[in-house]
Amino acid sequence: MPQPTYFLGSSTPAGFVNSAASFLEDTSVTAYILKGTPGSGKSTLMRKIAEAFEKIGTELFLCSADPDSLDAVYIKEKNAFIMDGTAPHCADPKYPFAVQTIVDLGAAMEGSLIRERKEEVIRLTDEYSACHAGCRLYLSAVSSLLGDINSTAAKLIDYRKLSSFTERTAKRLLPKKGTQTAGRLLTRQLSAVTMNGYSTLLPSDTEMYLLADSNGTAADIFLKDFSAAAMKKGYDVMVSRCLISPECTYEHLLIPELSLAFITGSFLGCIKAEGTKKAVSFRRFYRTEEQNDRRRLKFDKKAAAELMKEAALTLTRAKEIHDRIEEIYINASDHDALSRLSYKLISELRGLC
């Protein structure tokens, strides 16, 4: 059974933004917040948990800065959420032990071995922070350009034609339900800024439609209206927003109950139509641009794409530095203690009702 995979969050002009709040603020969710240094075993522990509960259904949340690492795991049947709570996530319990529990992986670390390499740790940590500061500057410029693209493209949309298409699509794809209860709007992040640029995780086992919209503006309007229609009929909707956009831009949409997904393919990320049920061209919902608008959109997209490449390069450099920091801490970690902690936490999770 494939495990649904998302990003927990992404680098943005304002720093790292994640979707953990939707889990941590829900008092029905039992949350475990892992605290520890790089190399203390947080991702390894979450991998073991994911493997232990794979058969009953789990959701995996990847680290956008290092897609080989996990930021969180959600066990649906246990309604349990396990996440990395150290920087840049910086999560703390609101209801300690009653709802959220801190799991300290630092207890298995030999501090004296770290202090022997104090100067190296300080230098590498400062270099790592500088890389992310540089990434934020590039993304700030990208965000400004996205705002200009959106405002320019919005003037060109044929709103009546787009609205008619949305109504027809909702009528065709959203069966009536025998319930009067409105559906919920949930957050699941499918796109993020990574070392490979702006990356998107495509959902598996879904009827997937690719919305081919270079601007992303008409697709945003369609997704907002379609999600409203779906929730009105009682369906829970998972939305993935563009976290570097200055506005609340809907980028992708999932309706798990219908195994239905809409994925926007804009200039930011190259998404192929392979595996999709249908590629829908949104070009038809834009009036022909005047020469000035065409030139402006072309410039904005080219500049944003180049800046995104630079942001990705800074994340690549940050990952190289992080790996060196991690190596220092791994060598000071008590791996036997981590194994015992893993066994204890998995046993506790199995005991949840």
The region that residue 79 occupies, defined by phi over 0 for left and psi between -120 and 50 for alpha, beta otherwise, is left
Q: What is the pLDDT of residue 276?
A: 61
- What one-character DSSP code corresponds to residue 202? P
Q: What is the pLDDT of residue 99?
A: 96
Instruction: Give the C-alpha distances (Å, rounded to integers) separating 186 from 23, 24, 220, 285.
Output: 10, 13, 16, 28
Q: What is the pLDDT of residue 1?
A: 56
Instruction: Give the C-alpha distances (Å, rounded to integers) separating 162 from 218, 322, 340.
Output: 8, 46, 57
Selection from 117, 98, 91, 115 nearest residue 35 by Cα: 91
In this structure, the number of other CB atoms found within 10 A of the CB of residue 185 comes to: 14
Q: What is the pLDDT of residue 272?
A: 62
Q: What is the pLDDT of residue 106?
A: 84
Q: Determine whether 132 is exposed, middle or buried from the number of CB atoms within 10 Å of its CB (0-12, 13-18, 19+).
A: middle
Radius of gyration in angstroms for the set of CA atoms belonging to the chain, rounded to a whole number: 22
Q: Under a CB-based contact definition with an 8 Å cutoff, are residues 206 and 261 in contact? A: yes
Q: Which residues of the chain have pLDDT under 70?
A: 1, 270, 272-277
What pTM did the predictor assign? 0.92
Dihedral angle, C-alpha 149, 153, 155, 159, nearest 10 °: -140
Q: What is the pLDDT of residue 275?
A: 55
CA separation for the pair 298, 165 (Å, rounded): 27
CA separation for the pair 216, 301 (Å, rounded): 11
Alpha carbon 270 to chain centroid distance? 17
